[in-house]
Amino acid sequence: MASTFDRVRFASRLTTRRLGRTLMVRAEVGSTNDEAWDALAVDAPDGTIVVADAQTRGRGRAGRAWHTAPGRALALSVLLHQGCDRGSLGLLPLAAGLAVAQALETLGAAPMIKWPNDVLLGGRKVAGVLCESRRIQPAPGYPTSPPGREGAPAGARDAAVVGVGVNVAQDAGDFPPEIAETATSLALAGIATDRESVAAAFLDALEPLWTGLQEGGRAELLAAWSARADFWGRVVTVRTPAGVVCGVARSLDPDGALVLVLEDGTETVVLAGDLEAAPEEARP
């Protein structure tokens, strides 16, 4: 079965130098993130993207499933394997969420970001991001560590896959019941566009953010991200792997973790979790 993703339309919108310049289009896959990792195994270029009309095992954050309405949602993964230093990789999930938000702005929407990288329209989720990273071991026979890097695995390097799911053209009835009350699409928000335009706008936004990060521009990224979040100063609940934390959202720390002020006035830093805004009367 051929994919309905229009390569020509996509190429006519894309202005990047690297990201998306190698494009793999599929009608149906398990997960585009898995396809991107498979592409790395056969030496696909940095910036290769995989787009699929449908996913049978789409993954969300925290082990959740991600539903892709066939042909109506964008399921896209970007493979990054050049210059993936650990510092930059730590902020890549925020950069990807910001890139989605900036892309939707260029298409006429007014999105907000919910930490760490859900993108919302009118308080409902329109897009999600799943970033995965791996340490890649060198092929047998690769030269030993260069001078000054003794002890580092010879030739080992980091790579990442940025997976984004954007609800583009779904009607209300296209969402599974469990997310019907919390999800939206660009079409439902009155933005008439297509997957190709969203994909190109996302990559156009991600490329300078990623390059900026690699060049040390962490503060700029955090500022741009923070400007698109509306929960600062509000009481939030964060479900973390270690339990639920409740406090007033204060800021991002330099690594992109969420700083909360607890009821006793102390600060805590949350590294990972799902954020929910609490009702106003629940302020500590």
From the list 73-81, 91-99, 243-251, 255-263, the region that binds ligand BTN by CB under 6 A is: 73-81
Q: Which of residues 17-36 bind ligand BTN (CB under 6 A)?
A: 31-33
Dihedral pair phi/psi, residue 166, rounded to 5°: -125, 130
* Contact of 39 with 31, CB cutoff 8 Å: no
Q: Does residue 195 interact with ligand BTN by CB under 6 A?
A: no
H helices present in the chain, as ranges: 7-13, 32-41, 86-106, 195-214, 218-226
Cα separation, 124 vs 105, in Å, equals 16
What is the x/- site pattern for ligand BTN, positions 100-139, by CB under 6 A? ------------------x---------xxx---------
Neighbour tally for 255: CB within 10 Å: 13
Q: Which is nearer to ligand BTN, 62 or 156 (CB)?
A: 62
Q: Does residue 191 interact with ligand BTN by CB under 6 A?
A: no
Q: Does residue 66 interact with ligand BTN by CB under 6 A?
A: yes
Q: Does residue 60 interact with ligand BTN by CB under 6 A?
A: yes
From the list 7-15, 70-78, 138-146, 259-267, the region that binds ligand BTN by CB under 6 A is: 70-78
Q: Which is nearer to ligand BTN, 130 or 248 (CB)?
A: 130
From the list 4-12, 59-67, 151-159, 194-202, the region that binds ligand BTN by CB under 6 A is: 59-67
Cα separation, 156 vs 154, in Å, equals 6
From the list 39-47, 163-171, 238-246, 259-267, the region that binds ligand BTN by CB under 6 A is: 163-171
Q: Which is nearer to ligand BTN, 165 or 248 (CB)?
A: 165
Q: Which is nearer to ligand BTN, 47 or 165 (CB)?
A: 165
Give, as one character, the DSSP assignment of residue 172: G
Distance of CA 123 to the CA centre of its chain: 18
Rule CB under 6 A: choose which of 20, 58, 93, 273 binds ligand BTN.
Answer: 58
Instruction: Output the residue with the shortest Cβ distance to ligand BTN.
Output: 128
What is the helix (H) or strand (E) element at residue 127, kind and residue range?
strand 124-136
From the list 55-63, 177-185, 234-242, 263-271, the region that binds ligand BTN by CB under 6 A is: 55-63
Complete edge-to-edge strand list for the sheet that includes strand 118-121: 23-29, 49-55, 73-80, 157-167, 124-136, 118-121, 112-114
Q: Which is nearer to ligand BTN, 164 or 213 (CB)?
A: 164
CB neighbour list of residue 3: distance below 8 Å, 6 or more residues apart: 25, 26, 27, 51, 52, 53
Write the CA distances from 20 to 23, 27, 205, 262, integer angstroms: 6, 18, 12, 43
For the record, the structure tokens of 39 come out as 């592409």
Question: Which residues sit at the interface with ligand BTN, rule CB under 6 A?
Answer: 31-33, 55, 58-61, 64, 66, 75-77, 118, 128-130, 163-165
